[in-house]
Structure 1
């Protein structure tokens, strides 16, 4: 089962920025018309308080996973820009969900359970998988299932679009769908967190969202560290 999961991840996840530099950037600039909001997506606010809560979840998980203050400081250093990256991830996940919904894509609980089981087998257990997701993507254990749902959603969206993510043409189709969804949602980002762009060549890649990663050049490494 885990081999099939690995294959799906290699063929469907988003590729590196260098591989898809030709994709045009689609920008929605923050208007500053929503005080107290870190972002507004589809008319729904992501408040500064909600963003801070998500960031604190990561910091708490990092602290719990380290044995001393030095290790904790190292973890913080590795996740620099966490607040901005967390917000961009939260927004991008909503954009992805809209694009998937537009294509009639949904994710079942069984699909999430199957993916988690496969990844746990690769990682050597549940705790090891949680540790890897926290270290690599700044996803705390309590958000792991949510993160896996997004991964599956990205895979199924690519399939629904007929987008071969190992080709530039397929990558362009996928990101065009996200750009359309971003426009539909009228994403409004608070300027303090940067400008909003749906593009693999933008700062979005810094968010370390699991489904935005390079997987074609080193598939073996992906299997070992997923």
Structure 2
């Protein structure tokens, strides 16, 4: 199965769809939802993903607050999709297309609803996170305690990766805490250190 933490970043997406899934700063460009390393996730791209998932879920009745929340959840996952690649690279972990295709099949079997543009990125996130969990824990998680420890270890690597490449978020969607997008809270400033090769951001077709 896809796993508990693997879908935590899109909890609101799953709720809207009616399905269950088992460095910091702010951008100055109003057209940018977030900047991850050298790559930009545009507001227009994020809004498109929101519209696409609502269409797939048969929903058109979200209010402004709910729409903003949904976009925030989607943005968190888009950021995570890029950060996990960097975290994996630092540990020698990557995802093959065969791995991604296998998880895509799992998602289809579970009827996971995601915007089409985000499916590959999320599947890659799941693959890398699973592999990192096993590598850092020294074995495949076999209990809730194992999974909690693995989540902690992976979270530490993702925090370090995000700090390395730098993550900036449009205040419209909240503030970046170093690991998660918070809808409010004190804005914390960070300066990216030496960044690795840029991870391609999802691009609108």
Bucket of the pairwise TM-score, normalised by the shorter protein: 0.5 to 0.7
Unaligned runs of 5+ in 1: 1-5, 17-26, 124-128, 205-226
2:177 counterpart SS class:
strand
The alpha carbon displacement at 1:46 in A equals 1.3
Give the one of 93, 100, 115 matched to 1:112. 100
2:189 is the alignment partner of 1:194: no
The alpha carbon displacement at 1:115 in A equals 3.0
Find the aligned partners of 1:81 and 1:42 in 2 and give their Cα distance.
24
TM-score norm. by structure 2 comes to 0.64
2:154 is the alignment partner of 1:166: no
Instruction: Determine the structure 2 residue equivalent to 1:144.
Output: 119
Give the one of 96, 102, 120 matched to 2:84. 96
* Number of aligned residue pairs: 165
Find the aligned partners of 2:78 and 2:174 in 1 and give their Cα distance.
14
TM-score norm. by structure 1 comes to 0.59
* Alignment RMSD: 3.4
Q: How does 1:29-178 map to 2 (within 5 A)?
A: 29-30=25-26, 32-62=27-57, 66=58, 72-73=60-61, 81-118=69-106, 120=108, 123=110, 129=111, 133-134=112-113, 139-141=114-116, 143-162=118-137, 166-167=145-146, 168-178=148-158
Higher RCO structure, 1 or 2 (CA under 8 Å, sep 6+): 1
Find the aligned partners of 1:45 and 1:15 in 2 and give their Cα distance.
23
2:93 counterpart SS class:
coil
2:40 counterpart SS class:
strand
Find the aligned partners of 2:163 and 2:116 in 1 and give their Cα distance.
32
Pair member with larger Rg: 1
Structure with the bigger percentage of helix = 1
Find the aligned partners of 1:183 and 1:111 in 2 and give their Cα distance.
27
1:81 counterpart SS class:
helix
Kindly indicate whether the alpha-carbon contact (under 8 Å) linking 2:33 and 2:173 is maintained by their aligned counterparts in 1: yes
